[in-house]
Structure 1
Amino acid sequence: MGGMNITMLIIIGITVLVSWQGWQNRELFERLKFQMGAILEGKQYDRMITSAFLHADSMHLLFNMFAFYVFAPVVLSLFSSLTFVLIYLVSILAGSLVTILFHGKEKWYSAVGASGGVSGVVFSAIMIYPDMPLRLIFLPFFDFPGWAFALVYLGYSMFGMKSRHDNVGHAAHLGGSIAGIAITLGIKPELINQLMNLF
């Protein structure tokens, strides 16, 4: 097994382990989760990263790690393991920062999950391979290009932030997505020409 796959599996392994430990130890879960008051007033800034390795339940964990597993190899096909980890961690941090900007006055706000980092990896992969065929579970017979998914996903995230009609961390999704795009195009600006040729 190559080093690239090992990097991906290490991240999945750490996330599964921390989530499992959090489920077994409520005190640990409460200490590691994203909690607005603890971050802004208690200055526990580490929660902006540690919360990404926790998940609410097994389905939440499975969904995020499956998306990570599917898109990570595309990013790792172009970038080194170190750059890949940088994209993932910066996307997590960006997701947390946008969440603070949007929910900063809500001291009770809390969240867990790797969605910011996973969104960064997904959007990095789409920048690399914008025509990649994607298929949704509930639309198994219909493929659509990655760039189309990206536009819909960003639009849905912004709508979700505004409407607040669900319990999804749309701000983290948006922040992570933007970070994934920015880092990927910043390191490989020649990919911009590939995107321009789509339209």
Structure 2
Amino acid sequence: MKLMFISDIHGSLFWLERALEKVEEEQPDSLVIVGDFLYHGPRNPLPKGYDPQEVANKLNEYNQKKPITAVRGNCDAEVDQMLLQFPMMGDYVMLLHEGRRIYVTHGHGFSIENLPALSEKDIFIQGHTHIPVADVKEGIFVLNPGSISLPKENNPNSYGVLEAGEFIVKDFEGNVVKRITV
């Protein structure tokens, strides 16, 4: 099973459309969105192609073809759920992937620095920092796909793919940014 993770869209239609092109290219079994859908947030600049209503429309169109799994980010609110036609207000979601537990959260509550109660070899995935991560902490795989729209610390716009025991963060040119065997 192949999972694709995108995070921190922040209302950027330009980068969402690029991400959806990568979804078509990657052909994941499931798309997981790790929060911060429509609003850019008070500390961030407006991302390229800022159009939150059209971002909601594009996500709803995709969700009609293949259901989206999602969690709420710190910039998301109840009004966003009114626009989006899939559940996205949960603080976390637990997935089972190839016999492994995956805890997905945005990262503003539990985070790589403040892990929830997980077991060795479990997988923890967050967004929020806009910085890609592929590492192990206390025996737990800690992963972050980075941000599709507003990357930080000179990182490229990126997304993550989990497949066949490997998590890979890629930029939109197809280059590997981070990689780890999980």
TM-score, structure 1 length as denominator? 0.27
Kindly indicate which of the two structures has a greater share of residues assigned to helix. 1
Kindly indicate which of the two structures has a greater share of residues assigned to strand. 2
TM-score, structure 2 length as denominator? 0.28
